[in-house]
Structure 1
Amino acid sequence: MKVELLHIVDCPNTAIAEANARAALDVVELGAVPVELVTIWTEDEAANIRFGGSPTILVDGVDLFPTTPVRSLACRVYATESGYAGSPTVAQIDEALRGRRRGGGSDR
């Protein structure tokens, strides 16, 4: 399994998204899987990859929370049980990972 966290420079939500992804991997007993931080530097780069905004969590190249890709260096907003946030919660990532392991995708 390859986990990538795509982000833009100075994204205020990168650290929390990384921490939440690592915690969720621990919950599903995949704590040894690294989370690779991938910086998106240019709008051309954003347009040429599956970048949903910063931060985007990919598992094996697939966005855990599918959305329309953006073509700019933009922030991303996630709907959480507490309202909108700059990162999905540990529970949301856990649920999405479990869905991927069962062969399905996330519905969020």
Structure 2
Amino acid sequence: MRVEMLTVPDCPNGPVLKERLALVLPGRTGVELTEHVVGDQEEAERRGMHGSPTLLVDGRDPFAGPDTAASVSCRLYRGTDGPAGGVPGIEELRHVFGTTGTTGADRC
């Protein structure tokens, strides 16, 4: 599985997404995580970035609708049980990756 993080330069939510991925990906074999800093709209369109940070799983953004435009702007994610935030929630990420379970870090 190819997992890509796309961010704009100095995105404050990029490290948060990376930290959350570190909570949900352990134990999964064959996962390759890469990070790309996207500098302009043309590159955002080429890479499939829908705001920063964007998470791509095997080239697809699991949180974007089919008509979501490419963008180098900040991004908000709507959680299923909480307010909008700059990154997907732990449970949303677990759903995407098919993982379950909780750790003490999840309750922070």
Name the aligned partner's letter for residue 78 of structure 1. Y
Q: Which residue of 1 aligns with 2:21?
A: 21
Length-normalised TM-score, structure 2: 0.79
RMSD over aligned Cα atoms: 1.9
Give the SS at the match of 2:37.
strand
Q: Does the aligned pair in 2 maintain the 1:20–1:90 contact within 8 Å?
A: yes
Unaligned runs of 5+ in 2: 100-108
Equivalent AA in structure 2 for residue 76 of structure 1 = R
- Which residue in the other structure is 2:49 paired with? 51
- Alignment gaps of 5+ in structure 1: 100-108
Cα distance, 1:91 vs structure 2: 1.3
Query: Identity of paired residues, percent?
Result: 30
Provide runs of 4+ in structure 1 moved above 6 Å.
none
Query: Quick one: which amino acid aligns to residue 23 of structure 2?
Result: A
Aligned to 2:72: 73
Which secondary structure does the structure 2 equivalent of 1:78 belong to? coil
Partner of 2:84: 84
Contact 1:18-1:35 at 8 Å conserved across structures? no
Which whole-Å CA distance do the structure 1 matches of 2:90 and 2:78 have between them? 13
- Aligned partners of 2:19, 2:92: CA distance in 1, in Å? 13
Measured in 2, the distance between the counterparts of 1:52 and 1:30 equals 26
Q: CA deviation at 1:31?
A: 6.5
Please give the secondary structure, in 2, of the residue aligned with 1:35.
Answer: strand
